[in-house]
Amino acid sequence: MAKIKYIEFDGAEHVVDVEAGVTVMEGAVRNMIPGIDADCGGACACATCHVYVDPDWFEKTGERSAMEESMLDFASDVRETSRLSCQIKVSDELDGLIVRMPEEQG
């Protein structure tokens, strides 16, 4: 179990426990956190779960796959720490992870 902080574009914060083995996107959806649409359900096919990973955590989330890099081309306001939250698997090592949502998805 990892505690993850999701920060909406307007600054509203949601800190929730997310079970290891699921994705950061699934954690948001299961906890009804606004700002992550997840239109494709986590298939890395839509870019509507785009987040900015806190710079201190970015390397701990793993490398972007070629597919994720491709899908980020469809995301708005992509930054150096952009990830698709459906591609970040939660583990105990991610306890304390902070992600921010962009102003708009997709």
Contact between 99 and 52 (Cβ < 8 Å): yes
Third-level CATH fold of 2-97: Ubiquitin-like (UB roll) (3.10.20)
Dihedral, CA of residue 47, residue 72, residue 87 and residue 49, to nearest 10? -30
Q: How confident is the model at residue 5 (pLDDT cuts 50, 70, 90)?
A: very high
What are the tens digits of pLDDT across the range 55-91?
999 999 999 999 999 999 999 999 999 999 999 999 9
- pTM over 0.85, yes/no: yes
- Strand-strand pairing, 2-7 and 98-100: parallel
* Mean pLDDT of the region 46-58: 97
d(CA 38, CA 45): 9
| For residue 95, pLDDT beyond 90 | yes
Helix residue spans in the chain (DSSP H): 24-30, 66-72
Q: How confident is the model at residue 15 (pLDDT cuts 50, 70, 90)?
A: very high
- Can you give the residue ranges of every domain in the chain? 2-97
Phi, psi of 28 (to 5 degrees): -70, -45
